[in-house]
Structure 1
């Protein structure tokens, strides 16, 4: 599955960095049409996470992942067949739905196949993901320098072929044990018992809401830093891609070593403390970048990028463990599907929040970091209260059982 992730992300790196350029220069869409296409496909993709998770509790994972990868491949190939807006809109929405569902199922596969070592496995998996993304992005950057329609079409073709390769590789992957079946075999859930539903679990829904805020570090690198640099006097615009490279290098270098600090549920919960500090410091250094000359701005922006990357790495460790620890064994897929809404949600609200921070100025960035830091504290309390209760998958003990 690590090879699957690596190849998948190479394809995504080929396409994600040039999709806007493709729709603009090859398909001939207007700026408004490109923006609407991205917004609609993103909104449709939100449904992919809970839908994929729900299905995963009922069918073998590999049997679901293979058709999902083929669906993504077909969507990518289909984009090559038309330049008309409405078909492109529909095709992009279908592809987005498959992307989000496949993302959740890949995480669930890792959790089931790795068992107690799921945090370390996910760390290695994320390292492979970032390496693949970087490789695809470099290839895309080289192809874009040609500036031809053929080059763009080959990048999209490469993305589609990566999904075909991933589907074929998934055929060779062993099917992990179902969480529902493991729970029944362990005697914690009688056969025929209806699995718990995350939609009625208020604590888990509140946890997902806090996760939406903690995932905002992604928008910092996609939107916040580039825009802030573009509107900062004296700061070279070339700093923005360099900070993205710094982010990628730090994740590849530190994700696995830092994962060992969150291998248990309690250890993961304790990491929320340093995570809170990293977010607060990241916001403060962003604010300080606007208070001095060019050299200070570059130093503070670099420090901020490093701090937000550290927060990204720590949050990944915490999120991997807690999203599963808070879910009953009988409905891990459904719960992870709902957890996937946090990332989808931040993609919607993130640009609005970050641009508001930029418009407010240095105080906006300080407030941004502080707000996420406070959210970490709220999650720490929320998780502590939940973990002190009996798991949802364990039936209550009666007097006759003593």
Structure 2
């Protein structure tokens, strides 16, 4: 059974750790930086960042085209350099116009990342090795975010503007370092004719005509919505509906973060020989169960039973995320043809981007109408998506659903270094 080349796998994961650590340093001060350093009022800062983020969405489909034309590695590196330049520009911001220009650079770099990194994974690993690599990335990313956040809290404890500048400067450097590491990651999956060249036959129209992939994207959207409940719904539900202390949301969030960092890799090894559709569907079912527990927690008397129920619900929620995330990412990547993988991944990212945009409105309206009803709605959506995943299993490529069946064919993977004729091959990995 082929494994990802050790140098490719570990250089990639180190790059992801560096990326996450830099991101973790900036996340705690994303709004505060411009407020404290430039003196801009928080509403102006928030509005500017929102407009920049909306403009950045344009780069998502553009990234898909660029991946298919120039290769995933090039787009990942370009996105890192854009973000590095943007964060470097933060140090020079003195007014709202300069802030907007810097934030737009970062937003464009951010939005090119999801489709290009998924396409790059397909060049680094194939079969079940891809699931393991995604699991390692998710585990280390959570750890890196925690390390970055802790580093930022220590540096910002000084309470001086120079501390904010230092954090932003380190973030800029971290993206350059991640770009250098990605540039040295060798591709170990065979290259195929036509991959990496601009498609002359439809582009995104070809993706839209792929009914199975469109359906897979639609099915993922309700499950993507589940990922936002821990940060958006739970804190409001706990403090305003259940009247818990303000420290409880932080404890539950820590349980989720630590659980992913510690359990993701061993759990993925445990389910690696299960069909990806079934593993992802199981994750959706566990999500639904956790939401039912959150809904029922309002009926429990006393702090002891209430906290026990909340911690159990959060543990189940974390398990659902651990099961669903690597399986669905590998499933989508494996379903996409190599010559259009960039466009396919950009299209698939809509299943994450659109729920992310709709979540604040949907969640605030649901909490205002009926918190319990919102949890029940989320449970229904998650279980419905899980069932739909199982029902469409036979419509997806066998190698995408059960990758170990392809692992048994050694000829499917050839190191890029031994591909004989550069004029007859292209720089993107083979179809998986």
For 2:114 and 2:161, the matched residues in 1 are separated by 30
Shift of 1:347: 1.8
Write out aligned runs for 1:171-190 (5 A): 171-175=183-187, 177=189, 181-182=191-192
Taking the TM superposition and a 5 Å limit, the aligned residue runs for 1:107-146 are 107-116=118-127, 117-146=129-158
For the Cα contact (< 8 Å) 1:46–1:100, is it kept in 2? yes
Distance 1:236 1:150, change over 3 A: same
The answer to whether the aligner puts 1:247 opposite 2:256 as a matched pair is: yes
Matches within 5 A, 1:45-64: 45-64=56-75
Give the CA deviation at 1:383: 4.1
1:93 matches 2:101: no
Between stretches 92-101 and 223-232, larger displacement belongs to: 223-232
Q: Secondary structure at the match of 1:82?
A: coil
Aligned residues of 2:139 and 2:264 also touching (Cα < 8 A): yes
Counterparts in 2 of 1:201 and 1:90: CA distance versus 1, 3 Å = farther
Q: What is the CA–CA distance in structure 1 between the aligned matches of 2:234 and 2:35, rounded to whole Å?
A: 24
Say if 1:279 and 1:370, in contact at 8 Å, map to a contact too: no
Partner of 2:76: 65
Residue number in structure 2 paired with 1:275: 283
Secondary structure in structure 2 of the residue aligned to 1:289? helix
Question: d(CA) in 2 for partners of 1:272 and 1:66?
Answer: 30
Instruction: Write the deviation string for residues 219-276 of structure 1: whole angstroms up to 9, x where unpaired.
Output: 1122122222231454111122221211111111221122235546x71111244223
User: What is aligned with 2:94?
Assistant: 83
- Given that 1:327 and 1:335 are in contact with CA atoms closer than 8 Å, whether structure 2 keeps it comes out as yes
1:320 corresponds to: 329
Separation (CA, whole Å) in 1 of partners of 2:271 and 2:120: 19
Q: CA deviation at 1:193?
A: 7.1
Q: Which residue of 1 aligns with 2:3?
A: none
Q: 1:152 aligns with which of 164, 175, 183?
A: 164
Following superposition, the deviation at residue 35 of structure 1 comes to 3.0
- In 1, the alpha carbon distance for the partners of 2:41 and 2:356 equals 22
Cα deviation for residue 49 of structure 1 reads 3.0
Secondary structure of residue in 2 paired with 1:182: coil
Q: Establish whether residue 330 from structure 1 lines up as the match of residue 312 from structure 2.
A: no
Q: How far off is 1:177 after superposition?
A: 4.9
CA distance in 1, matches of 2:392, 2:49: 34
Deviation at 1:19, TM superposition (A): 0.5
Give, in whole Å, the separation in 2 of the partners of 1:335 and 1:275.
23
Give the root-mean-square deviation of aligned CA atoms.
2.7
Q: Contact 2:335–2:397 at 8 Å: present in 1 too?
A: yes
1:124 is paired with a residue whose SS is helix
Structure 1 alignment gaps of length 5 or more: 186-190, 392-402
Query: Which secondary structure state, in structure 1, belongs to the residue aligned with residue 123 of structure 2?
Result: helix
**Compared with structure 1, are the counterparts of its residues 331 and 158 closer, same or farther at alpha carbon in structure 2 (3 Å cutoff)?**
same
Contact 2:35/2:45 (8 A) holds in 1: yes
Deviation at 1:214, TM superposition (A): 0.8
**Superposition deviation, residue 140 in structure 1:** 1.7
Contact 2:234 2:249 in 1 (8 A): yes
305-314 vs 204-213, which deviates more? 204-213
- 309-318 vs 81-90, greater mean Cα deviation: 81-90
SS of equivalent residue, structure 1 residue 174: coil
Matching residue of 1:399: none
Q: State the TM-score, normalizing by the size of structure 1.
A: 0.86
Q: How far apart in 2 are the matches of 1:296 and 1:105?
A: 45
Given the superposition, is the C-alpha separation of residues 300 and 45 from structure 1 closer, same or farther in structure 2, using an over 3 Å criterion? farther
Give deviations 1:290-311, integer Å, cap 9, x for gaps: 2233333322222222222111
Q: What residue is the counterpart of 2:374 in the other structure?
A: 364
Cα deviation digits, residues 348-371 of structure 1 (max 9, x gap): 112223223322122221222222
In 2: Cα distance, 1:192 partner to 1:249 partner:
43
Distance 1:343 1:128 in 2: 21
2:355 aligned with 1:346, yes or no?
yes
TM-superposed CA distance for 1:192, in Å, is 8.5
* Structure 1 residue 126, shift from structure 2 partner: 1.4
Distance 1:199 1:44 in 2: 23
> SS at 1:271's partner residue?
helix
